Amino acid sequence: MSTVTWSGLMDHPIVQAPMAGGASRPALAAAVSGAGGLGFLAAGYKTAAQVREEITETRRLTPRPFGVNVFVPSPGPVDAEAVAAYRKRLEPEAARLGVALGEPAGGDDNWDAKVADLLADPPPVVGFTFGCPSHEVIAAFQGRGAVVVVTVTSVAEAEAASAADALCVQGIEAGAHRGSFRNTAELGTEVREAGQNALGVRDLLRGLREVTDQPLIAAGGLGNGRHVAEVLALGARAAQLGTAFLRAPESGASPVHKDALADPRFTSTAVTRAFSGRPARGLVNRFLAQHGPHAPAAYPQVHHVTSPLRKAAAAQGDAHSMALWAGTSFRMASAAPAAQIVADLIMSL
For 101-158, the pLDDT digits (tens) are 999 999 999 999 999 999 999 999 999 999 999 999 999 999 999 999 999 999 999 9
Question: Reduced to 3 DSSP states, what percent helix, strand and coil does the chain have, rounded to the nearest 5?
Answer: 40, 15, 45
* Buried-state track 161-196, b at ≥16 Cβ within 10 A, e below 16: bebbbbbbbbbbbbbbbbbbbebeeebeebbeebee
Q: Looking at the predicted structure, is the pLDDT value of residue 298 above 70?
A: yes
Q: Which residues of 51-75 are buried (b: 16+ CB within 10 A; e: fewer)?
A: bbebbeebeebbebbbbbbbbbbbe
To which H or E segment does residue 255 belong?
helix 255-260
Give the least confident one: 54-58, 86-90, 194-198, 271-275: 194-198
Which of 143, 149, 106 is closest to 125 using CA atoms? Answer: 149
Q: Which pLDDT belongs to residue 7?
A: 66
pLDDT tens across 265-293, in order? 999 999 999 999 999 999 999 999 999 99
